[in-house]
Chain A
């Protein structure tokens, strides 16, 4: 276990290094840069732009900028946002709650509903339910989220008036009920795609397990179908799902670009889009490193969890 962790750690550091170099170079290759937003300002002169460039350290060679950034990062200084001057970790911290709330609730919906549809689809293979599930999943996967979002807002907010047209809460009303009211539409819209993915994976995992010898043995022993399903099938079918959950963990914290924009949700996805739009290098790099670390952690946790649950697997 210890050797496994050390091995993983060293691999991860190399990975982070590669990600950061590629990210930094690609980001700086995009012409324009953080000062492009002032290009149409009638009152700013080239002098002003040159001065800002120097003050932000952007006139130095790229490798020097990278080393400076990386050295500070190693020391725990993630830098300051070009936009509002706040430390990058503060900027991330200000957006993470909104994302956690939205992604958390949509993931719970997605896992619960997706697992149920998947198992039922597998046990009632080729039934009407199974066909509906399959078609529904295909539809949910092929229709863009923003379209679902806008249709949802149009129907439930503008026409029926049941749900708010976006935002995390009504300004001036910070009650839990108000948050929940605002959460319904975006979390369901976001969950749709994830339900589709989960149900498909769960269905095929369950089908795999059902055809195994030990299930036949259990049946031969005379166990009830219900008991076979709960005790032998579901447990085994869930194992690959743990890996899937590990892969999806980063997205719970890095947010959903489209859904957060349509529902004006102040989360990490929108932070990323905005920071990219303004070429806010420190924040974009911070988000990149943050999500890279999450991906590594997510996979690590999944591997350990699988090993803990399934005694046949040994980490080495």
Chain B
């Protein structure tokens, strides 16, 4: 399995990294909080940790710590527009249920 980006998401990440002026990639993860158990985290990455699993998609490096990976393995990160709002979306095959707002989920 792996973590992948859609082309659209990769383009956005590339743009954001460029305008930020630093960072070597993205960190995807989960944390145990929220109304439905788990929540996604999505951050710029400046320094990788030794235990990180590294994926690459459209030349963007994606770092995931092994504990998070079990919850999001197989995820495709997409960039979408909903109404006026635009942002990243986790298409995570492990999810069984998510809270109404979609900010947290259970597996």
A and B associate: no
B-to-A contact residues, CB < 8 Å: none
